[in-house]
């Protein structure tokens, strides 16, 4: 198995933080749906590089906050590689996402990394102008245009859970990291029972169309990314498999707290 190298930073960050995983939903308002998550929810995942344990990711719903006078949901995600992977590629990263109270769009997105490739990113969304402005270590880029109902990479994880999953359905959502705004599609492939840590789960397998990110993921006929969501009202992603040029990454839920 190849050794992790610095140029793989983009896809490793995407894999561990589930950036592409969370890009598969429609634009209905949360007020029209039953919200399956609340402040205090905490999901913990074990990451593997092939069969080698690679680290941990923790995603939480934090207390609601006001951002520029707007009441928001506050989501956070912290990812860390373990001591073994630290020898090749150390990751210590935190993401924060703030969406409007109706869960229709992102207000603010942050990413802070103190690993091998440090980042201090802030993305501000100006919905009056339909723009998003990306800044890194205080240096701003030119604003980009975003379409209505655009979310950041992290918040999409929660938005997907507001929607009913149906076999053979295709869902689209615009998503922006402040550098670009793209629409990613996902197909709800099938309903499937899987075993995880000695427990059986009734799930839906979701396969995103990764054509827009083909430079990041390994090319081939097999799906590059697979996500299994529980087939209950919470729709928690319990397992993710992603293929890349240096091998497969697997993320498995090991703890869920409300």
Give the pairing type, strands 52-67 and 42-49. antiparallel
Q: How confident is the model at residue 217 (pLDDT cuts 50, 70, 90)?
A: very low
**78 pLDDT higher than 90:** yes
Contact between 215 and 53 (Cβ < 8 Å): no
Q: How confident is the model at residue 33 (pLDDT cuts 50, 70, 90)?
A: low
- Does some domain include residue 257? no
Those residues whose C-beta lies under 8 Å from the C-beta of residue 236, and which sit 6 or more positions away, are 43, 161, 229, 230, 253, 256
- pLDDT > 70 fraction of the chain, expressed in percent and rounded: 80
Which of 6-15, 21-30, 38-47, 172-181: highest mean pLDDT? 38-47
Per the model's pLDDT, the better-predicted residue between 14 and 229 turns out to be: 229
pLDDT tens digits for range 84-112: 988 887 889 999 999 999 999 999 999 99
Query: Domain span at residue 64?
Result: 6-252
- What pLDDT is stored for residue 244 in this prediction? 63
pLDDT tens digits for range 218-256: 344 455 778 899 999 999 989 988 776 666 788 899 999
Measured distance CA(231)–CA(2) in Å, rounded: 36
- Does some domain include residue 142? yes
**198 pLDDT higher than 70:** yes
Measured distance CA(155)–CA(202) in Å, rounded: 24
- Does some domain include residue 223? yes
Instruction: Give the residue-averaged pLDDT of 55-74.
Output: 95
Measured distance CA(214)–CA(224) in Å, rounded: 9
Average pLDDT in the chain: 82
- pLDDT > 90 fraction of the chain, expressed in percent and rounded: 52
**31 pLDDT higher than 60:** no
**21 pLDDT higher than 50:** no
**12 pLDDT higher than 80:** no
Task: State the Rg of the chain over Cα.
Answer: 17
Q: Give the number of domains in the chain.
A: 1
**16 pLDDT higher than 60:** no
Give Cα separations from 207 to 120, 138, 225, 226 (angstroms): 31, 36, 6, 5
pLDDT tens digits for range 119-138: 999 999 999 999 999 999 98
- Does some domain include residue 258? no
pTM, 2 dp: 0.80
Q: How confident is the model at residue 161 (pLDDT cuts 50, 70, 90)?
A: confident
Per the model's pLDDT, the better-predicted residue between 64 and 4 turns out to be: 64
- Does some domain include residue 1? no
């Amino acid at each position: 198995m190849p050794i992790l190298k610095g140029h793989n930073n983009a896809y490793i960050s995407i894999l561990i933080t589930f950036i592409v995983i969370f890009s598969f939903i429609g634009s209905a308002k949360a007020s029209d749906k039953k919200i399956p998550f609340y402040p205090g929810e905490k999901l913990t995942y074990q990451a593997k590089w092939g069969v080698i344990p690679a680290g941990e990711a923790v995603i939480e719903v934090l207390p609601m906050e006001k951002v520029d006078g707007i009441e928001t949901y506050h989501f956070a995600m912290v990812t860390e590689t373990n001591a073994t992977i630290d020898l090749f590629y150390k990751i210590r990263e935190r993401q924060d996402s703030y969406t409007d109270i109706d869960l229709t769009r992102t207000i603010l997105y942050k990413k802070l990394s103190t690993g091998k490739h440090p980042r201090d990113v802030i993305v501000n969304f100006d919905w009056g102008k339909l723009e998003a402005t990306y800044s890194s270590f205080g240096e701003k880029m030119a604003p980009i245009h975003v379409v209505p109902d655009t979310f950041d990479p992290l918040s999409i994880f929660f938005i997907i859970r507001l929607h009913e999953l149906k076999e053979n359905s295709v869902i689209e959502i615009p998503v922006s990291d402040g550098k670009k705004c793209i629409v990613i599609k996902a197909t709800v492939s099938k309903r499937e029972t899987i075993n995880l840590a000695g427990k059986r789960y009734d799930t839906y397998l979701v396969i995103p169309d990764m054509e827009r990110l083909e430079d990041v993921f390994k090319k081939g006929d097999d799906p590059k990314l697979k996500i299994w969501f529980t087939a209950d009202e919470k729709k928690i992603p319990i397992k993710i498999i992603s293929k890349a040029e240096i091998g497969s990454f697997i993320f498995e839920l090991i703890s869920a707290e409300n």
